[in-house]
């Protein structure tokens, strides 16, 4: 187990390093003269150089990279060129939208997918199983932003129950904040569910063909009992992996849904700052997201090793 | 000889031929994909009107208006013409991304499978790292720094999809490399590259085609998403995702303009996914059984 954990940790460090270099080069390499963009067209060359000097943008790239990373490790994510706000504050403010949104979306997706997927696996070859397969096949083809548009058309415009966009901060009204999250979460959750149903269905089907399920049936359990007692525990393993893989999908979906419903979350902040060439803000924010995803994947791998002794042995 | 005893044996046609007509996914997938391919091709020769030229006198016409089957948008541009050019963009970008990923994924996957432990470890871990980076966020940065457009979108898709191709092709190739006929070819004195090109590639072609089809569909969805965010393609190119964004911003979600491009995306992606599933049943029965 120790070797397994060490290997996973080494991979974690390697992944974070490679990702940080890639993000740094991508943003700096193609970003043009940052100071000139920040100051606008009327800026004199002297002013541009002065600003570049203040933010250390005139130093060689490797020095800037090392500086950025060592600051990040000490918890200093940098500051905005224009407003001088710290990236940590900017990001924290946006997370009060992005985290509830993406987390509830994932949970809703699982709440739908686990029972429906299990039901679909139990009913392979029957009309209801075929209908479910078709529904999830169509669901996978629906872009998340179109789901958002359709839901806001139905519940926002036609029925008038919920806002079609915009955001009321938690501090002003918790109820209003929740109301503005309902449709975004619903869109995200339904689209996640369509993908997850297929995974749950094939995981449960896999389990149903295993020897231990036959044994459970042989000792007198009903099919449903056997699936609940023995099957679900075994199907949980591939599911944990899939949730890990879906985290990147989830973040992608959140980025788009925030735009559909004009929620001032993390992704809107990235879009705005990319346009304004706030390189430090973009670099650090993107890096925070990537580290989060890689951490989730590390935890999934470690959890997998704990749950299934065979994994530790074979990897 | 009495032939009446034989039919039981003769009835067993080659599995491929017998499965094909019953494979509903394959047929529906082929039809849907074929229709969109034809529409995209037709758009090069015939468009009801120029989809980028405003015609203010005919703005926001309803569906069924003379000369405009599905009506016009806020600037009086014909919806059918825009949808037709949108099909072109979706197919071009989706297929472009899937083709480049297939190319790079095949090269890296085969190298990982055949070139020794160190190469394998480097390529596989590299693919794992790339898979753990959220694509949408990277695409935003990429589009903003390189400038958005069809080519950038294709490059972004290639960057996300290549590692998945690498993984799939590596494991498929490893399976083939363990077969006896590979050993035979090696003993016959065939070189590594020859074996890969002549024996491994034809045997993993099925996997490659299926993977290509499914990522073609994924590419169309991603392109629509990026264009919806405003970091994908721009006019004069037209994307269904861009049309949905324009409709939502300019007329509101209640407009039929926010419906048609969505239907187009769903039908084409559904068609390609069904085609991929159907092809998998035909080309790779082992995999289809495992997936249920």
Nearest C-alpha neighbor of B98 from the set B215, B191, B195, B5? B215
Q: What does the DSSP assignment read for B172-236?
A: HHHHHHTSHHHHHHHHTT--HHHHIIIIIHHHHHHHHHHHHHHHHHHHHHHHHHHHHHTSS--TT
Name the token pair of A56: 């250390």
B contacts of A18 (beta carbons < 8 Å): 126, 129
Residue B289 has pLDDT above 70, yes or no: no
Residue B100 has pLDDT above 60, yes or no: yes
CB contact under 8 A, B145 and A30: yes
Domains of chain B in start order, with CATH, are 78-286 (1.10.3720.10)
Residue A283 has pLDDT above 90, yes or no: no
Model confidence band, residue A212 (pLDDT cutoffs 50, 70, 90)? confident
Burial class (CB in 10 A: 0-12, 13-18, 19+), A160: exposed
Tens of pLDDT, residue by residue over A79-119, are 877 777 888 888 888 888 888 898 999 999 999 998 898 88
Model confidence band, residue A311 (pLDDT cutoffs 50, 70, 90)? low
Examine residue B236 and say whether the peptide bond preceding it is cis (omega within 30 degrees of 0): yes
Highest-confidence segment of A215-224, A225-234, B221-230:
B221-230
Identify from A17, A120, A145, A286 which residue to disrupt to test chain B contact, counting B C-beta atoms within 10 A and taking the largest count.
Answer: A145
Name the token pair of B230: 């405003």
Q: What does the DSSP assignment read for B160-175?
A: HHHHHHHHHHHHHHHH
Tens of pLDDT, residue by residue over A150-161, are 998 888 777 878
Model confidence band, residue B284 (pLDDT cutoffs 50, 70, 90)? low
CB contact under 8 A, A164 and B125: no
Backbone angles phi, psi at B140, to 5 degrees: -60, -50
pLDDT of residue A84: 79
pLDDT of residue A314: 54
Strand partners for B72: B78
Backbone angles phi, psi at B65, to 5 degrees: -65, 150
Tens of pLDDT, residue by residue over B253-281, are 667 788 889 999 999 999 999 998 888 87
Residue B194 has pLDDT above 50, yes or no: yes
Model confidence band, residue A32 (pLDDT cutoffs 50, 70, 90)? low
Give the length of chain A.
Answer: 315
pLDDT of residue B257: 81
Cβ(B273)–Cβ(B224) below 8 Å: no
Cβ(B143)–Cβ(B155) below 8 Å: no
pLDDT of residue B14: 44
Cβ(A302)–Cβ(A131) below 8 Å: no
CB contact under 8 A, B273 and A156: no
Cβ(A296)–Cβ(A99) below 8 Å: no
Long-range contacts of A265-272 (CB under 8 A, 24+ apart): A265/A94, A265/A97, A265/A98, A265/A101, A266/A91, A266/A94, A266/A95, A266/A97, A266/A98, A267/A98, A267/B137, A267/B140, A268/A94, A269/A90, A269/A91, A269/A94, A270/B137, A270/B140, A270/B141, A271/B140, A271/B144, A271/B229, A271/B231
Name the token pair of A283: 């670099």
B contacts of A297 (beta carbons < 8 Å): 132
Residue with token string 């740094």: A24
Query: How far is B194 from chain A, CA to nearest CA, in Å?
Result: 31
Cβ neighbours for A298, distance < 8 A, ≥ 6 positions apart? A8, A9, A11, A12
């Amino acid at each position: 187990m120790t070797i397994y954990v060490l290997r996973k940790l080494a991979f974690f460090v390697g992944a974070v390093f490679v990702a940080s270099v890639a993000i740094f080069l991508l943003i700096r390499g193609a970003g043009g003269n940052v100071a000139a963009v920040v100051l606008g067209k009327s800026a004199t060359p002297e002013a541009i150089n002065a600003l570049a000097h203040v933010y250390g943008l005139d130093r060689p790239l490797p020095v800037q990279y090392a500086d950025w990373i060592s600051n990040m490790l000490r918890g200093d994510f940098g500051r905005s060129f224009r407003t001088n706000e710290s990236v940590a504050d900017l990001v924290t403010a946006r997370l009060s939208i992005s985290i509830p949104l993406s987390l509830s979306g994932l949970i809703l997706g699982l709440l739908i997918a686990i029972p429906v997927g299990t039901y679909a696996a139990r009913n392979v070859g029957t009309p209801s199983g075929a209908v479910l397969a078709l529904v999830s096949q169509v669901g996978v083809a629906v872009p998340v932003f179109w789901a958002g548009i359709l839901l806001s058309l139905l519940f926002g415009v036609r029925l008038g129950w919920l806002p079609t966009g915009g955001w009321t901060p938690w501090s002003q009204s918790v109820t209003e904040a929740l109301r503005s999250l309902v449709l975004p979460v619903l869109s995200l959750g339904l689209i996640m569910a369509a993908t997850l149903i297929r995974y749950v269905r094939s995981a449960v089907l896999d389990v149903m063909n295993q020897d231990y399920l036959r044994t459970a049936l042989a000792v007198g359990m009903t099919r449903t009992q056997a699936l609940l007692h023995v099957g679900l525990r075994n199907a949980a393993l591939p599911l944990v992996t899939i949730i890990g893989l879906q985290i990147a999908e989830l973040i992608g979906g959140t980025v788009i849904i925030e735009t559909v419903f004009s929620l001032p979350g993390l992704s809107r902040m990235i879009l705005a700052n990319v346009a304004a060439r706030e390189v430090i803000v973009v670099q650090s924010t993107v890096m925070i997201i990537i580290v989060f995803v890689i951490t989730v994947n590390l935890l999934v791998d470690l959890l997998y090793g704990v749950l299934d002794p065979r994994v530790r042995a074979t990897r | 000889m009495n032939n009446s005893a034989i039919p039981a044996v003769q009835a067993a046609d080659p599995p491929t031929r017998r499965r094909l007509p019953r494979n509903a996914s394959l047929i529906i997938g082929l039809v849907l994909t074929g229709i969109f391919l034809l529409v995209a091709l037709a758009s090069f020769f015939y468009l009801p009107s120029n989809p980028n030229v405003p015609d203010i006198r005919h703005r926001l016409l309803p569906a069924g208006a003379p000369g405009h089957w599905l009506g016009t948008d806020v600037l009086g541009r014909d919806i059918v013409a825009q949808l037709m050019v949108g099909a072109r963009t979706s197919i071009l970008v989706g297929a472009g991304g899937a083709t480049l990923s297939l190319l790079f994924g095949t090269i890296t996957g085969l190298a990982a499978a055949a070139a020794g432990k160190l190469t394998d470890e480097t390529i596989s871990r590299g693919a794992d790292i790339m898979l753990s980076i959220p694509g949408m966020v990277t695409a935003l940065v990429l589009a903003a720094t390189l400038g958005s457009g069809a080519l950038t979108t294709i490059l972004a898709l290639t960057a996300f999809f290549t590692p998945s191709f690498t993984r799939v092709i590596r494991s498929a190739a490893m399976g083939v490399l363990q077969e006896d006929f590979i050993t035979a070819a090696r003993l016959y004195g065939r070189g590594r590259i020859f074996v890969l090109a002549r024996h491994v590639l034809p045997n993993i072609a099925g996997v490659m085609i299926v993977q290509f089809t499914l990522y073609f569909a994924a590419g169309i969805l991603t392109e629509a998403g990026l264009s919806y965010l405003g970091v994908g393609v721009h006019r004069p190119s037209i994307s269904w995702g861009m049309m949905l964004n324009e409709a939502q911003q300019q007329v509101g979600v209640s407009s039929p303009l926010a419906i048609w491009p969505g239907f187009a995306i769903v039908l084409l992606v559904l068609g390609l996914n069904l085609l991929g599933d159907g092809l998998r049943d035909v080309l790779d029965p082992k995999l289809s059984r495992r997936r249920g």
